[in-house]
Amino acid sequence: MMRCLGPGSIKARSYPRDFCHGVQLLSCLSPRPASGSNCIQQMTTATKLSPRFEIRRLDPKQPGHVEWTAAIITHSNVFLSPLWPFLYPENKTSRAYTTFKGCKDMVTASLSTGLSLGVFDTQYKFKRPESAATGGRLYWDESNLEATADELLEQMDFPLVSIAQAYDGAMPIDRALYAPLIAALPAFATMYGALEALDKRDPDSWKPKAAGEVIMRSGTATRGDYEGFKLAKGMAHYMMRDAAEKGFRGIQIETAHPAVDKIWVNPPAPFKGERIGAFHTKTYELEEDGKTAKPFEAADLRCTKVYVTLKA
């Protein structure tokens, strides 16, 4: 057992109670919508994205969607995150391959909900002809442990550039599917446990009692070569508006990036964002077997849990 030296207590690397917790897409928004359709134009205007980008529903039955999503999650977290590269600075390429394999089942389950979204670059230029022939392809070679972050990014030759995983809180994803991911990034579970311990809300005040009430976000990532386009913000605002139209009353997200926290704490009107719990990686402490540790000290950011109220 370990004791959090702050509000609440957690268990080391355990699965928190809410570790695994929809949006209504426009009627013409299929996994591969027609370019230039009225539907896409309306969506682009609402999210203020450049017309070159399209938000689409991610579907595990669509070629490449699971693999591409897993690759974006992996590359973003292992190499670009303000948290994980500092906690795990060694053997990043090997860890990336392990993370990639470990998150595929979780990604499949998340995409199966019909609530996960992705941003596609409609003007994407394929680097290899064989990629163009299939609509995109991933070229990672897990035997090449010398591959750099830039080389792995170059091998992600597909038009999916940003992802937002989500599912209905009344139908949580099987916790067991997260085990391989936690094995690759052990502090992942510690972070979620810490944020859960800091959540002092009455569960009845927010938890879903039926499907269609609360969306749980379970992953946000943008490719390194597409940072600066405000894709995460545009996709988040689209999800909020669409969820509200469908009748959802709230969306919850855990963040380990200041930009993501800012997006969700400051949603567009009339929605309201609230930071439910937060800890700073430099000061967070826990005690295990009589010893005090700072498991996140190598990083310098605030990890948060945010709840966005869509309707009272």
pLDDT (0 to 100) of residue 29: 34
Which structure tokens are listed for 208?
């879903």
35 pLDDT more than 60: no
30 pLDDT more than 60: no
pLDDT (0 to 100) of residue 312: 74
Which structure tokens are listed for 83?
């948290």
DSSP state letter for 156: E
116 pLDDT more than 50: yes
27 pLDDT more than 50: no
Residues 6+ apart with CB under 8 A from 153: 75, 223, 224, 225
What is the rounded average pLDDT of the residues 260-278?
98
Phi, psi of 303 (to 5 degrees): -90, 140
100 pLDDT more than 90: yes
- Split at pLDDT 50, 70, 90, the class of 46 is low
Residues 6+ apart with CB under 8 A from 73: 99, 103, 107, 163, 219, 221
178 pLDDT more than 90: yes
Q: Say which residue, 45 or 183, is predicted with more confidence.
A: 183
Among 55, 278, 241, smallest CA distance to 163 is for: 55
115 pLDDT more than 70: yes
22 pLDDT more than 60: no
pLDDT (0 to 100) of residue 47: 62
What is the rounded average pLDDT of the residues 57-64?
98
Omega of the bond leading into 270 within 30 degrees of 0 (cis): yes
Question: N- to C-terminal Cα distance for the chain?
Answer: 38
Global confidence as pTM: 0.86
The beta-carbon contacts of 281-290 under 8 Å, at least 24 apart in sequence, are 281/83, 284/6, 284/194, 285/4, 285/5, 285/6, 286/2, 286/3, 286/4, 286/5, 286/10, 286/12, 286/190, 286/194, 287/2, 287/3, 287/4, 287/5, 288/1, 288/2, 288/3, 288/12, 289/2
15 pLDDT more than 80: no
Among 158, 182, 159, 148, smallest CA distance to 80 is for: 148
208 pLDDT more than 80: yes
Tell me the C-alpha to C-alpha distance, in Å, between residue 95 and each of 5, 148, 177. Answer: 30, 12, 18
pLDDT (0 to 100) of residue 48: 79
pLDDT (0 to 100) of residue 103: 97
24 pLDDT more than 80: no
Query: Which tens digits make up the pLDDT trace of 223-255?
Result: 999 999 999 999 999 999 999 999 999 999 999
187 pLDDT more than 60: yes
Q: Which domains does the chain have, with CATH numbers?
A: 2-309 (3.40.630.30)
8 pLDDT more than 60: no
5 pLDDT more than 80: no
Q: Say which residue, 48 or 110, is predicted with more confidence.
A: 110
